[in-house]
A and B are shown apart, each in its own frame.
Chain A
């Protein structure tokens, strides 16, 4: 106690910006590690080994093995990588759709009403229902899932961007820009887009967990990816058959891994929003 009072501990308290930055870097590294290891795992690690089937979690197989003796850790990592690529494609397309539609809102009141109507339409139907319909109509599989996810995840981001665009459109500096004879496209590119970029980045990252969870959900229900690919949804739905016999690790670890990945994405999105939205807006 005496030492403590005479030599005050030199624990430097981090401020919010430093903490947020640390969280961002940490979650980014974790995600990169997950995806990277998933990509690096070769097909030889995914093989069937009947000598070691139904093994509970151990040091050689941290996530256990399944009914064909496949290592659940490699399968989970592969599944997460697949989910990531599905999420990446779907979120990119969704963000792009949201940007285009929100810029259309600024053209005139009629187009704005049309876009708003579409947003309301898509938001009024349960997400998973349209998702199943679209991915089924698009032929199922990887393509069907990506199309389905891309076409159903734009509405909430579009609504956010639309509000921003309408507000920007009525600013005095846009009026002045028109008086300088600048075209609508020029104004959209130079005045509106720089203000939308932070929203776009954050919206894009926050779409990820949604897309990934929905991908797993429809795959679990049997409308998504085909059953030979190691997707998390497939792993979970197959493990349901073995759950009753006490093989809890088949569902527990892949499900937990999915949850962890989704929450890290959420954390990353929220941290980046903190970093680029209020304080650093003008320099982005």
Chain B
């Protein structure tokens, strides 16, 4: 179980952005997090993925506290895929950075094998996002945080990707936190939806 307890965070010289956030995600569960722009959803996502340390409170996975060594069991899929790939690397290297290639997963996500030899600037945002998703869904990933994962994609691609992700969640018993301001999408894919405003009290 991924559990955030009493997590608070503020950027330097700014008022508290998150205060006393409590959140639990079970394996195989798809949790939606709905909130307005600038409310701190992405900050919470980076804290849950272990990229930022909370100022107060702690996060645990099955009783183990952060920080974690090695491949992080909570992986984040970012809103803007262009920023999370090294522009000087070919896609193949970008994928194998996280571990060996899984051709079944690539096929499921609709990644064309010929894209592997390209540079990030030669792919579209949607294509890049598939790579980021494939990279985040390594064999050691137990939880996935999808921060506006499909916001920049068209409706058909959005449906395709979520279909694949939900299938994988069932197969591997992965827990998902889907962050979006598109409440209808969340209602559609999630087991339960949390409003970000009720999560904490600033």
Contact = CB atoms under 8 A, between A and B. Distances in A.
B83 interface: yes
Contact of A195 (B72, B88, B99, B121): B88
A171 interface: yes
A194 to B, nearest CB: 5
B98 interface: yes
A276 to B, nearest CB: 12
A147 to B, nearest CB: 35
Interface of A is mostly: helix
A50 interface: no
Given A172-B78, A282-B121, A181 B88 contact: no
Contacts of B88: 194-195, 281-282, 284
A95 B88 CA distance: 22
B85 A181 contact: no
Given A180-B98, A282-B119, A173 B86 contact: yes
A177 interface: yes
A40 interface: no
B69 interface: yes
B121 A179 contact: no
Contacts of B85: 173
Contacts of A39: none
B118 to A, nearest CB: 11
Contact of A172 (B75, B83, B135): B83
A176 B49 CA distance: 10
Interface residues of B, number: 24
A168 to B, nearest CB: 9
B121 A175 contact: no
A171 B83 CA distance: 8
B83 A179 contact: no
A182 interface: yes
A187 to B, nearest CB: 10
Nearest to B119: A282
Interface in B68-103: 69-72, 75-76, 78, 83-89, 97-99
Nearest to A178: B51
Contacts of B99: 180
Nearest to B49: A179
A71 to B, nearest CB: 50
A104 B84 CA distance: 24
Nearest to B87: A282
Contacts of B119: 282-283
Given A172-B78, A194-B88, A181 B83 contact: no
Contact of B83 (A173, A282, A283): A173
A180 B72 contact: yes
A270 interface: no
B173 to A, nearest CB: 21
A273 interface: no
Contacts of A281: 87-88
Interface string A162-204: 0000000001110111111110000000110011000000000
A191 B71 contact: no
Contacts of A180: 71-72, 97-99, 138
Given A179-B49, A180-B71, A181-B71, A172 B84 contact: yes
B72 A175 contact: no
Nearest to A186: B97
Contacts of A181: 69-72
Nearest to A194: B88
Interface in B11-64: 49-51
Contacts of A284: 88
Interface of A: 171-173, 175-182, 190-191, 194-195, 281-284
Given A172-B78, A179-B49, A181-B69, 11 more contacts: A173-B84, A175-B84, A176-B78, A179-B51, A180-B71, A180-B98, A180-B138, A181-B70, A181-B71, A181-B72, A190-B97
16 contacts: A171-B83, A172-B83, A173-B83, A173-B84, A175-B51, A176-B76, A176-B135, A177-B97, A179-B71, A179-B76, A180-B72, A180-B98, A190-B97, A194-B86, A194-B88, A282-B87
5 smallest A-B Cβ distances: which pairs? Answer: A181-B70, A181-B71, A179-B72, A172-B84, A172-B83
